[in-house]
Amino acid sequence: MTTPRADADRGRVEDPVSIDSRQAEEPAETADRDLRVRGLEVRFGATVAVRGVDLDVPDGQVTALVGPSGCGKTSLLRAVAGFEAPSAGSIVIAGRTVAGPGVSVPPESRRVGMVFQENALFPTMTVAGNVGYGVGRGNEREGRIDEILGLVGLRAYRDRYPDELSGGEQQRIALARALAAEPAIVLLDEPFASLDPALREQVRDDVRGVLDRSGTTAILVTHDHEVAFSFADRVVVMSDGRILQAGTPGELYRRPASAEVARIIRAGQLLPCRVEGRLLTCALGELDYPAGSSREPFDGLVLVRPEDLLMFWATEADRGARGRVVRQRFYGHDIVEDVKMDDGTLVCVRLSGSAGLPVGTPVRIRLRAPEPLVFPAGC
């Protein structure tokens, strides 16, 4: 690939005004294709969709914004793309301020590529027409289209129309179209949500592969924590217009910062518990709590991951909390069983293999985690 700066200018040779304005505005542009958002706020009338968000996406990395619908992730994305005007804060793309006090660069001059859930391929143009739309009219146009189509592995589809492609192919072409315009950053808005579940995983891997090969900086917006975890280098969890936590998928899963984050990323079940010193009491009975200290006992929620639970056939002689299997769900590679504890709490246990305990079996459950994660109440 040629350097992004040179290509971007070539793509806009037909538009002298924007070249002039860009040169005047952005002396500080760096080679890094990164994103820096500071104190961003987006309002729709009286409602505030994004409340003072700071976000950094380093060059070449893929960041996922995940959160329930209405948490402000799409508004944040659209503000970066330039389709919503922020009411406060600044957005800097590749070293150039595109939104901030007194600055509002229109979307077409931001060097931001969008990939939408509904893919938005122009139905009146062929695949080549779509991919070439942002390329400009140079000699290298055809070569560039071929190069990008090769990157997404769909060179043979050059002359087809979008409605002749499958959903996954359409989404790859949409990505190719965004990449062909040499964006500083690619924004993906729920790009896999409208795909068949069976197809979703394959397309997700394909798209990630293309982003890696082209070294593209990208933001993915999704409500699906599994997509976010399997796709991104970094995951940012949002709720109610704010960022709750950011980190690698592993960090987030291992140590969610709050019960809310644990709920959003479905880290596991949250059981009410009481901590007294090094002893933790919950529906599963009494557990060791090595992180405990001798300070005041407190109530909280303990995070219980289904795969951290061990289940045993309970005998009359067993002491401590007991329960009974009430439901069994087969997933092929494993079995999830619902256990109703004596105090009425429902606990999910995941057992690998294909043999489980039949419904009605009296059981005992033990937590395998050496250091249970506890969120004090009101956290």
Partner 1 sequence: MRAIGGLPRWLRVIAVCVAAAANVPLLYLILRGFDSGPKAFVAVLLSSSLGALLWRTLALVVGVVVASVLIAVPAAWLVARTDLPGRRLWALLAALPLVVPSYVAAFSLVVAFGPRGGLQGWLEPFGVDRLPAMVYGYGGALAALTLFNYPYLYLLTLARLRRIDPALEETARSLGSGRWSTFFRVVLPSLAPAISAGGLLVALYTLSDFGAVSIVRYPTFTLSIYTAYRALFDRSVAAALGCVLVVLTLAIVGCESWFRRQSRPLPPYPQRRASTVELGRWRWPCLVGMALLVAVTLGVPVLVVGGWGVRGLIAGVEAESVWAPLRNSLSVSVVGAASTVLLALPVSIWVVRQPSRWATAVGTLTHSGYALPGIVVALAIVFVSIRAVPFVYQTLPLLVAAYVIRFLPQAIAACQTALAAVSPRFEEAARGLGRRPAEVLRTVTLPMIRPGLVAGAGLVFLTIMKELPATLILRPTGYDTLATEIWGNAAEGFYAQASVPALLLVAASVLPIYGLVIRPALADRV
Q: What is the dihedral of CA 134, 136, 140, 144, to 10 degrees?
A: 0
Rounded to a whole number of angstroms, the minimum distance from the CB of residue 124 to partner 1 is 4
Between residues 116 and 298, which has the closer beta carbon with respect to partner 1?
116
Q: Nearer to partner 1 by C-beta: 179 or 252?
A: 179
104: contact with partner 1 by CB under 8 A: yes
Phi-psi region of 361 (alpha: psi -120 to 50; beta: other; left: phi over 0): beta
Q: Is residue 167 a contact point for partner 1 (CB under 8 A)?
A: no
The 123-142 site mask, x for binding partner 1 (CB under 8 A), equals xx--------xx-x------
Instruction: Using the structure block, give the residue that is written with the tokens 């002298």.
Output: 16
**Piece of the chain touching partner 1 by CB under 8 A; list 102-110, 141-149, 152-160, 234-242:** 102-110
Question: Which residue's entry shows tokens 């990208």?
Answer: 218
Q: Encoding tokens for residue 337?
A: 């069983």
**By the rule CB under 8 A, 183 interacts with partner 1:** yes
Can residue 110 be called a binding residue for partner 1 (CB under 8 A)? Answer: yes
**Closest CB to partner 1 among residues 81, 235:** 81
Query: Taking the complex as a whole, how short is the minimal distance between the CB of residue 226 and partner 1, in angstroms?
Result: 25
Nearest to partner 1 of 133, 298 (CB atom) = 133
Q: How many residues does the chain have?
A: 379
Task: Please list every residue from 330 through 349 that binds partner 1, using CB under 8 A.
Answer: none
Can you read off the two tokens belonging to residue 192? 């896999």
Using the CB atoms, write b or e for 145-177: b if 16+ within 10 Å.
Answer: bebbbebbebeebeeebbeebeebbbbbbbbbb
How many CA within 13 A on the CB side of residue 263? Answer: 12
Q: x/- string (CB under 8 A) for partner 1, residues 28-67?
A: ---------------xxx----------------------
The C-alpha atoms of residue 81 and residue 238 are separated, in whole angstroms, by 18
Which of 61, 63, 74, 109 binds partner 1 (CB under 8 A)? It is 109
3-class SS of residue 352: strand
Does 161 bind partner 1 (CB under 8 A)? Our answer is: no
**For residue 198, which phi and psi values (nearest 5 degrees)?**
-65, -30
* Minimum CB distance to partner 1 smaller for 83 or for 312: 83
Nearest to 53 by CA among 333, 337, 244, 213: 244
Binding site residues, partner 1, CB under 8 A: 11-12, 15, 43-45, 81-85, 87, 104, 106-114, 116, 118, 120, 122-124, 133-134, 136, 174, 177-178, 181, 183, 187
